[in-house]
Amino acid sequence: MATVLIVDDEPDIRDVIRFTLEESGFRVLEASHADEARRLLPEQPDILLLDWMLPGRSGLELARQLKQNPKTRSIPIIMISARGEEDDRIKGLDTGADDYITKPFSPREMVARVNAVLRRSRAEEVSAQIEIGGLIIDNVSHRVSAGDRAIDIAPTEYRLLHFFMTHADRAFSRSQLLDQVWGNHVYVEERTVDVHVRRLRKALEATGHEHLLQTVRGVGYRFSDK
Amino acid sequence: MATVLIVDDEPDIRDVIRFTLEESGFRVLEASHADEARRLLPEQPDILLLDWMLPGRSGLELARQLKQNPKTRSIPIIMISARGEEDDRIKGLDTGADDYITKPFSPREMVARVNAVLRRSRAEEVSAQIEIGGLIIDNVSHRVSAGDRAIDIAPTEYRLLHFFMTHADRAFSRSQLLDQVWGNHVYVEERTVDVHVRRLRKALEATGHEHLLQTVRGVGYRFSDK
DNA sequence: CACCTCAGGACACGGCGATGACACCCGGGC
DNA sequence: GCCCGGGTGTCATCGCCGTGTCCTGAGGTG
């Protein structure tokens, strides 16, 4: 089951939240301030419930910090704020918070939101380097490799592959691929996608990974190691 | 740029929203009630701003409907509700709404939320999986599997199976199936359904799931694990 | 037993996707 | 400026898979 880290300076609030979440089967960690929260990060919480109004605006700081660090960026954050602090709420979303709850909130609402955010974020998992079926793409060095062999690839093929690998196990139509990889403003023939798929496959043949790029007849293409 | 569909029965509200969104570069569609919204779906809005309090609770209905239809399920919905209708807010989230805004709201907040939801939904990976009797169909990856074995299936068989699995435990006549799976404009022989049922069964035999597709003599076919 | 419905095999056509060829564009080197 | 080469988009062609129809036989039903 998922672990939730509550960061709030009021013990009463923490208690209420802890009770509700534990009843719903979550594991709960508590911190009363930002520093304590940071110390608890090694416990690998799946989600943070973060009170906006921590002393010294440290809630905002913490959120910003977590979202800037690649290692913690993927931890979703739900902000808790008092009703009416609208400006803060907006900043919270801008900072990268994934959702927020206004006090006072009902237990049911909170659980519903925690679940919703977890469901969303689970699939996301962004990282610079992605590995699927032994094939590795690294968006920092802009390089594709398998084992210790580098694969030479043209720009468009690279973008296509990168899109596929960040959206694996999904079937895409040609027009979706054009929108996503070429940009939805340009107009090119749908069949062009076929050609680039073929070129990409050819490039992947060098290491025997062409089977990862699959044709879904009547629909489009899919990237998957299954 | 993204397209937003506003569904609200109050023209003033729509105007305000439209103005703000267009200023932020969105394309805006307007509907004053659920039916009009449905008619605008072919315009492919990227997100819906849906007033909760449409006459006759049709806002809830619309949301539920959209989230149940595989074709529209992925369109994110932001609910607009009057402050304090908390029960409704929860129901809204349960219905599948992705977020909500309480009236009155500031333009900035609205834009921030629309952007946040769009950002999320883009990366999102709702595995729209349906499982019946150990057989799994996933309309996102467009794949059928049982256990860890993938089942190879032709386009028409796939659509047929998908329809059956989303409408399990009901018997359908051949003409109903033709309407639903082939489309009600095309004309093909009723017996053709038999042939595709047979092909589908053959495909399911690979994992021993052919018994799920049952013949209802004198009526048609039914998909069920009972 | 006669009738009707469904299962299953066979087959021909059409369309979709794979593939190779080619023309154009752009940038770098001379 | 000119040439060269890699990259990209388009087109025509080919082959195969998917699809719809027909026919026959099996099995259930009255």
B155 C-beta less than 7 Å away from strand C:
no
**CA atoms of B98 and B122, how far apart (whole Å):** 13
Domain locations along chain A = 3-124, 129-223
Q: Does residue B195 register a pLDDT over 90?
A: yes
Stronger pLDDT, A155 or A113, i.e. the higher one: A155
**CATH number for the domain formed by residue range(s) A3-124:** 3.40.50.2300
**CA atoms of B139 and B124, how far apart (whole Å):** 14
Whether B169 contacts B222, CB under 8 Å? yes
Q: Which residue from A207, A200, A197 is spatially nearest to A153, judged by alpha carbons? A: A200
Chain B, window 70-129: residues with a beta carbon less than 8 angstroms from a chain A beta carbon: 86, 89-90, 93-94, 98-99, 106, 108-109, 112-113, 116, 120, 123-127
Give B127-152 pLDDT, tens digit per residue.
356 788 889 888 778 899 988 888 99
Q: What is the CA A217 to C1' D28 distance in angstroms?
A: 38
* The token pair that represents A119 in the structure block: 């469901």
Give the domain B3-123 fold.
Rossmann fold (3.40.50)
Cβ <8 Å between B93 and A113: yes
> Chain A contact for B143, CB < 8 A?
yes
**CA atoms of B31 and B180, how far apart (whole Å):** 28
CA geometry: angle at A151 spanning A149 and A154, to 5°?
Answer: 165
**CA atoms of A54 and B83, how far apart (whole Å):** 25
Chain B, window 155-174: residues with a beta carbon less than 8 angstroms from a chain A beta carbon: 155
Q: Which residue is nearest to nucleotide D19 (CA to C1')?
A: B156
Give A7-62 pLDDT, tens digit per residue.
988 887 788 788 878 877 788 999 988 888 888 888 788 889 888 777 766 777 78
A220 C-beta less than 7 Å away from strand C:
yes
Which of B140, B141, B159 would best serve as a mutation to test chain A binding (most A beta carbons within 10 A)?
B141
**CATH number for the domain formed by residue range(s) B129-223:** 1.10.10.10
H runs (alpha helix) in B41-154: 58-68, 86-95, 107-123
CA dihedral A51, A52, A55, A56 (to 10 degrees): 150
Give B54-98 pLDDT, tens digit per residue.
776 677 778 877 765 555 666 888 888 765 555 554 554 555 566
